[in-house]
Structures are given as structure tokens and as C-alpha cells.
Chains A and B, each alone.
Chain A
């Protein structure tokens, strides 16, 4: 079955740039989506269609995709950005709902 691979953890100091990657063979042809899940809360969409930011999401969140890797970038990470981040996409056959394993972002 199709898999998306994320690093288990990323750690930065406040104000630094955090980059979280998501690799998958179908990403050259399928969009990546990114979700933020804070402790005890439901996930929230932060990036859709590789690089589009929903309304209400701070500008410091951005997304990019090149080849088999999508990247979520948080420029000037804040303490309140500490959360688990998940990518999702679709496999090459069009089957939806593949999640990466999640990345725990620590900002301290």
C-alpha cells in the first residue's frame, strides 16, 4: 500500500524556520495537504493543494512540493506552533486518504 514518510520530530528555537518534509512516490502527480493538531484538539488544515494557505492561517506557514517531496515551512516559528503535523495525499490510482506518520514540532 502507498506510504507517505515524515520525520518523527523536528525541533527549533522560537523565531527560527522549521521545515517538515513528506515523501511519497505519487507526490509529483498528486497534491499534498498539511494539518496541524495541537494536544487534545482536532486537526486543522494549514496548507492545501501543495502551497495554498486557507484563510485564517498565519502567513508564516507555507508549503512547497518538488519531485517526490512536499515541505511545510514555518518561517519564524512561535511557541504556539508546537503541535503534531500530518501530511496527506492520494495514491497514484486515485485512492484517497493516505496520511504520513506525523511529525512532532517542538519550539523551545
Chain B
């Protein structure tokens, strides 16, 4: 069974750093793009960026470029989303999602269960 399992909920203070994870199993991890999607409370889905574990090629949404870092450790089939200095506005649910790609574009076929990040003083 193809699965993405994310790390647990986090409660942090503004200015702190954070790295959350997403472990893939049941498929060839290095052969699929994997990315992150933000959902702020009561709002819709926002695509943040993706990474290709095979060569660590990374693409970011302009809205998130420079605000977060996406990385991967292919030896343990795990992708990461990292902040160096959290803000209260980073409070949200974060989902990882496996991406499928063809000439006609990208979609997301498998999703993690989500990681809640709460940033509050």
C-alpha cells in the first residue's frame, strides 16, 4: 500500500525554527515528485512546492519562495518542510502529497494525514 506518514503536531513560539517530515512507503520514493500543501484554518488548499527525491530538484510557489525550505533524505524515503523563523501566520495544517506528472501537467495522487503547526507566544 502506498502511504505517506507525517510527523506529529507541533506547538512553537514566534521566531523558533521547525522541521516537519513526511515518510513515503510502498512505492519507489525516488521516482515521484513529493510536495507540501498548506491549509490555514477555515480556508482552502495552497500549494507550496515540490522536490524530486532522485536529484533533489526543487520548485517553489512564488508565495512561499524564501519563506520555507523543502528537502529530502532519499536514504530513508523522507521529505521535509523547514522554517528558520516561524511567524504566527504560519499556523496551519500542512499536508505532504505525492505528485504525478505528465506532459499535460501535475496532480497529487496520495496525501499524508497532515501535520498541525501552531505558532503562538
Contact = CB atoms under 8 A, between A and B. Distances in A.
Interface string B57-78: 0010110000000000000000
B111 A48 contact: no
A31 B48 CA distance: 19
B112 A45 contact: no
Given A42-B112, A49-B107, A88-B108, A1 B62 contact: yes
B55 interface: no
Nearest to A91: B105
Contact of B50 (A48, A86, A97): A97
A35 B108 contact: yes
B45 A86 contact: yes
Contacts of A100: 44
- Most interface-central of B47, B49, B106, B107 (chain A CB within 10 A): B107
Interface of B: 33, 35, 37, 44-50, 59, 61-62, 95, 97, 99-102, 104-114
Interface of A: 1, 29-31, 33, 35, 37, 42-45, 48-49, 54, 84, 86, 88-90, 94-102
